[in-house]
Amino acid sequence: MSLARINGVKIVEKRKIQLGKFAEYLANLPPCAVFFEACGGAHHWCRKARSLGHQSKMIPAQFVKPFVKSNKNDFNDAEAICEAAQRPTMRFAHLRSEDQQAFGCLLKLREQLVEERTAISNQAHTFLLYK
């Protein structure tokens, strides 16, 4: 995991942090604004940052992408998230609770099972037509 800390328009810290040590890093950081690119794991880290006294928000990936300056890598992504977060009109994603995330997973699994059932049924129907 890479991070970039920007104060105004100046980068004050840019380094790689192991995922296992990120919670420790957040705990030792004075309360500040922490921004994440929205994804499944970002909800966990956003909740963790809030529990440690930080103001945390998630930015949807589609709003971060225009700020990536060159090749996609962790450092460039972190810098793009910082750039996007500084925009006054930026729209942020809603933070989901663990229960909301678990329910969303169940809904997606159910959708996938229904699609697979339909595909198998259609395939069986096709096989029976040729017999």
Do 59 and 120 belong together in one domain? no
How far is it, in rounded angstroms, from Cα 92 to Cα 125?
A: 46
- What pTM was computed for the model? 0.75
Domain extent at residue 50: 2-95
Do 49 and 73 belong together in one domain? yes
92: left (phi over 0), alpha (psi -120 to 50) or beta: beta
Kindly state the tokens that stand for 80: 């793009």
Domain count, the chain: 2
Q: What is the pLDDT along the chain (131 residues), one digit of tens a residue?
A: 666 666 665 667 778 888 889 899 999 988 888 899 998 889 999 999 999 999 999 999 999 998 888 888 888 888 888 889 888 899 999 999 999 999 999 999 999 999 999 999 999 999 988 76
Kindly state the tokens that stand for 126: 């096709």
Contacts 24+ apart (CB under 8 A), 88-91: 90/59, 90/63, 91/60, 91/63
